[in-house]
């Protein structure tokens, strides 16, 4: 017995759609070979049956030799028994190949989608991942099965062609030329089929996106009376998916018609020509019976070929989407050059020292964290406020510092002179934590929400909660930290979710904490308490707060001003910038007016 799921294996870095299909087959080549052998034996047994029947007619019935007839009849029975036995083994091999492929692709999608960051969601909407996990994994799982189908179809076709040529050059030539010529018409449908299946998949993905959004916001929809609006929107997307599916049916129906046409033409053509050759003495009755059987048999290889083409088209479309997911959320650590290991080791040493109560490694100099695009430098142990007038530039800065966006060679962040993209991603995630303005809250207990890894005791958790002025949230729910939180924290207001998200990021105890607008959803008095709490909680550790709030910027050790082009134009104390920088005063005044 084979244990499924198997140990996870990531596809090669930079894999192409075709490369992903080849890799998927190669990873389970042993069971693919087993399935292919079973397919070949299964189909050859069917291919040789008309030949044995023809021999039974000529050497037994026509010749009047009933002993020979019984011998050939026994061969026919053995071929059918072999076919029945191998059918079970073939089905078992197909099931194993399908389950192995399903498990492998499912693990890839699950691991990659779990690495999709906030910045990458603009490239992959939720419906895309849902579609991958449903239809795409299904399409790719059939690839390994169809390797055997394709190989067996080609081998059986070659075997029948040789037998036919030996008995009749004319009829053998018709089969050898006719079947490939008719089958070639299937490939003319590939482009149309691929285009329409892509459109159908996209329409299904959009429909899934609407359904996903509704599931997430059902409470809100009911609160504003938006059920009918949602239903109308879903009906529209569902109708589009249905219409796109209908368009796929046209090339599929043509392919099925071609299959029937090929079979009918072969049966009629070979039987008619064979009968003429029998009357002319160029073909025996048994050979005519065999030719008729071959004509019917050839339907099966053509069907398998048609099936292989259809599966390949659907799998290629699915593979394109999954390779796109891997581009946005890569599974592989970056290549590390000769300098990067020193940085990674320093980060690991700092982590070890902290876990043993020794604090951060003093050799780890965060003053060397430098964003080349903005020219922003982060100094060790400071509370750095960053004022950015343009929200897009603010988001881009946070994404670069936290390595949440796809790596851009023209937007490098350096740590001790080393491109942060060259440091292993697990090290970056452990040492740099980003808290978003609208944090994602997972379901579970409040304790699990605040400390997902279960590394902090209740006293430490409550200290972080108090730092962001969120003790009232804990005290307002039954069970306090043991209270069960619904999906995405729907029972909390926007300001409460924001404070809980900030507390969660504090409990990660990162070397560098990046807070993006941590007080945008709270009132001024709460904002003032949060600013003071953050300053005290993170005292002596490097913290960067991207905000336009004067209350937050006022408690910062240093404030950096970033202009609309994303460049550093000034830095200094909050009061100093208020006096010297008109742009800074404008940002702060606008923030005060909207608060």
**What does the alpha-carbon distance between residue 533 and residue 530 come to, in Å, rounded to a whole number?**
5
**What does the alpha-carbon distance between residue 172 and residue 375 come to, in Å, rounded to a whole number?**
76
Looking at per-residue pLDDT, the higher value among 192 and 526 belongs to 526
Instruction: Kindly state the tokens that stand for 531.
Output: 């600013």
**Portion of the chain with pLDDT greater than 90, in percent:** 2
pTM above 0.85, yes or no: no
* pLDDT tens column, 133-162: 667 787 888 888 889 888 988 888 888 878
Peptide bond into 348 cis (omega under 30): no
Please report, to the nearest 10 degrees, the dihedral formed by the alpha carbons of residues 145, 151, 156, 161 taken in order: 150
Q: So what's the pLDDT on residue 363?
A: 40
Other Cβ atoms less than 10 A from the Cβ of 278: the count is 15
Q: So what's the pLDDT on residue 186?
A: 61
Residue 174: pLDDT over 50: yes
How would you classify the pairing of strands 568-572 and 558-562? antiparallel
Q: So what's the pLDDT on residue 488?
A: 67
Q: So what's the pLDDT on residue 366?
A: 46
**What does the alpha-carbon distance between residue 353 and residue 45 come to, in Å, rounded to a whole number?**
69
Other Cβ atoms less than 10 A from the Cβ of 74: the count is 12
Query: How many Cα atoms sit within 13 Å of 271 on the Cβ side?
Result: 11
CATH superfamily of domain region 342-594: P-loop containing nucleotide triphosphate hydrolases (3.40.50.300)
Instruction: Kindly state the tokens that stand for 31.
Output: 């069971």
**What does the alpha-carbon distance between residue 172 and residue 164 come to, in Å, rounded to a whole number?**
4
What average pLDDT does the structure give for the chain? 77
Q: So what's the pLDDT on residue 544?
A: 92
**What does the alpha-carbon distance between residue 216 and residue 421 come to, in Å, rounded to a whole number?**
33
* pLDDT tens column, 573-591: 888 888 888 888 888 777 6
User: What's the gap between Cα 59 and its chain centre?
Assistant: 61
| Distances from the Cα of 290 to the Cα of 56, 57, 170, 269, 376, angstroms | 10, 9, 15, 14, 82
List, by residue range, all CATH 1.20.1560.10 domains of the chain.
Answer: 17-328
Instruction: Kindly state the tokens that stand for 304.
Output: 């398998």
* pLDDT tens column, 23-70: 989 988 899 999 999 998 888 888 888 888 888 888 888 888 888 889
As its CATH architecture, domain 17-328 has Up-down Bundle (1.20)
Alpha helices in 509-564 (DSSP H): 524-537, 550-554
Q: Residue 513 — φ and ψ, nearest 5°?
A: -105, 125
Q: So what's the pLDDT on residue 490?
A: 67
**Portion of the chain with pLDDT greater than 70, in percent:** 76
Helix/strand/coil for 186: helix
Q: So what's the pLDDT on residue 211?
A: 64
Other Cβ atoms less than 10 A from the Cβ of 444: the count is 13
Mean pLDDT confidence for 223-231: 55
Nearest to 11 by CA among 19, 135, 3: 19
Nearest to 178 by CA among 301, 44, 55, 54: 301
Q: Is the dihedral of CA 420, 426, 430, 432 positive or negative?
A: positive
**What does the alpha-carbon distance between residue 360 and residue 363 come to, in Å, rounded to a whole number?**
9
Q: So what's the pLDDT on residue 33?
A: 92
What secondary structure does DSSP assign to 110-137, as a single string? HHHHHT--TGGGGTS-HHHHHHIIIIIH
Looking at per-residue pLDDT, the higher value among 471 and 247 belongs to 471
* Beta bridge partners of residue 545, listed in sequence order: 385, 515
Residue 356: pLDDT over 50: no
Length, in residues, of the chain: 595
Q: So what's the pLDDT on residue 197?
A: 65
List the end-to-end C-alpha distance of the chain, in Å, as a whole number: 65
Q: Give every CB contact of residue 189 below 8 A, 6+ residues apart in sequence.
A: 251, 254, 255
Least confidently predicted of 197-201, 207-211, 215-219: 215-219
Q: So what's the pLDDT on residue 365?
A: 46
Q: So what's the pLDDT on residue 224?
A: 46
> What is the H or E stretch that residue 378 is in?
strand 376-378
Mean pLDDT confidence for 441-459: 81
Residue 444: pLDDT over 70: yes
Helix/strand/coil for 9: coil
Q: So what's the pLDDT on residue 221?
A: 44
Q: Give every CB contact of residue 289 below 8 A, 6+ residues apart in sequence.
A: 50, 53, 54, 57
What secondary structure does DSSP assign to 243-292, as a single string? HHHHHHHHHHHHHHHHHHHHHHHHHHHHHHHHHHHHHTTSS-HHHHHHHH
pLDDT confidence of 353, banded at 50, 70, 90? very low
Q: So what's the pLDDT on residue 196?
A: 72
Residue 476: pLDDT over 60: yes
Residue 223: pLDDT over 50: no
Instruction: Kindly state the tokens that stand for 74.
Output: 């026994």
Q: So what's the pLDDT on residue 212?
A: 60
Mean pLDDT confidence for 434-443: 80
Nearest to 413 by CA among 266, 279, 512: 512
List, by residue range, all CATH 3.40.50.300 domains of the chain.
Answer: 342-594
Helix/strand/coil for 418: strand
Residue 503: pLDDT over 70: yes
Q: So what's the pLDDT on residue 213?
A: 57
* pLDDT tens column, 3-26: 666 788 888 888 888 988 899 899
Residue 533: pLDDT over 60: yes
Q: What is the 3-state secondary structure (H, E, C) of 334-362?
A: CCCCCCHHHHHHHHHHHHHHHHCCCCCCC
Question: Is 483 buried (19+), middle (13-18) or exposed (0-12) by CB count in 10 A?
Answer: middle
* Beta bridge partners of residue 445, listed in sequence order: 484
Least confidently predicted of 203-207, 407-411, 434-438, 563-567: 203-207
Mean pLDDT confidence for 261-286: 77
């Amino acid at each position: 017995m084979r244990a499924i799921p198997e140990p996870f294996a990531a596809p090669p870095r930079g894999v192409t759609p075709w490369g992903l299909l080849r890799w998927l087959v190669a990873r389970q080549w042993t069971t693919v070979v087993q399935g292919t052998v079973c397919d070949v034996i299964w189909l050859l047994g069917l291919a040789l049956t008309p030949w044995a029947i023809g021999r039974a007619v000529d050497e037994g019935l026509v010749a009047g030799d009933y002993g020979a007839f019984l011998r050939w009849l026994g061969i026919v029975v053995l071929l059918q028994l072999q076919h029945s036995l191998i059918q079970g083994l073939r089905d078992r091999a197909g099931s194993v190949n399908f389950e192995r492929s399903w498990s492998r692709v499912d693990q890839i999608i699950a691991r990659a989608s779990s690495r999709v960051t906030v910045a990458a969601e603009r490239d992959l909407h939720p419906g895309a991942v849902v579609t991958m996990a449903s239809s795409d994994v299904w399409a790719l799982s059939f690839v390994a099965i169809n390797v055997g189908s394709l190989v067996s179809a080609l081998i059986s076709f070659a075997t029948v062609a040789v037998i036919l040529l030996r008995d009749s050059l004319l009829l053998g030539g018709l089969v050898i030329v006719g079947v490939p010529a008719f089958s070639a018409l299937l490939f003319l449908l590939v482009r149309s089929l691929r285009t329409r299946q892509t459109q159908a998949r996209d329409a299904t993905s959009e429909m899934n996106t609407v359904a996903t959004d509704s599931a997430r916001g059902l409470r809100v929809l009911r609160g504003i009376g938006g059920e009918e609006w949602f239903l109308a929107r879903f009906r529209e997307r569902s109708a589009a998916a249905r219409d796109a599916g209908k368009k796929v049916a046209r090339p599929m129906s043509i392919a099925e018609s071609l299959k029937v046409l090929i079979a009918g033409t072969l049966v009629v053509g070979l039987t008619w020509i064979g009968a003429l050759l029998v009357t002319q003495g160029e073909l025996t009755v048994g050979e005519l019976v065999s030719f008729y059987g071959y004509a019917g048999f050839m339907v099966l290889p053509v069907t398998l070929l048609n099936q292989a083409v259809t599966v390949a088209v659907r799998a290629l479309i699915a593979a394109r989407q999954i390779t796109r997911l891997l581009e946005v959320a890569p599974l592989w650590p970056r290549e590390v050059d000769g300098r990067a290991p020193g940085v990674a080791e320093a980060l690991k040493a700092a982590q070890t020292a902290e876990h043993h109560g020794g604090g951060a490694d003093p050799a780890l100099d965060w003053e060397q964290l430098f964003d080349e695009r903005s020219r922003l430098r982060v100094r060790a142990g400071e509370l750095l406020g960053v004022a950015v007038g343009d929200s897009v530039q603010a988001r881009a800065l946070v994404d670069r510092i936290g390595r949440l966006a796809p790596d851009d060679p023209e937007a490098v962040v350096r740590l001790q002179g080393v491109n942060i993209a060259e440091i292993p991603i697990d090290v970056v995630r452990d040492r740099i934590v980003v808290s978003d303005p609208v944090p994602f809250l997972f379901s579970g207990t409040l304790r699990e929400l605040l400390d997902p890894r279960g590394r902090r005791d209740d006293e430490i958790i409550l200290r972080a909660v108090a730092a962001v002025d969120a003790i009232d949230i804990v005290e307002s729910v039954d069970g306090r930290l043991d209270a069960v939180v619904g999906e995405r924290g729907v029972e909390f207001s926007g300001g409460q979710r924001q404070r809980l998200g900030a507390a969660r990021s504090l409990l990660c105890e990162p070397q560098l904490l990046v807070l993006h607008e941590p007080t945008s959803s709270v009132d001024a008095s709460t904002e003032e308490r949060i600013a003071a709490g953050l300053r005290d909680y993170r005292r002596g550790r490097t913290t960067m707060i991207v905000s336009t709030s004067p209350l937050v910027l006022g408690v910062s050790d240093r404030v950096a001003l970033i202009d609309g082009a994303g460049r550093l134009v000034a830095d200094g104390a909050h009061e100093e910038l208020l006096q010297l920088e008109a742009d800074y005063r404008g940002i702060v005044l606008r923030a005060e007016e909207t608060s």
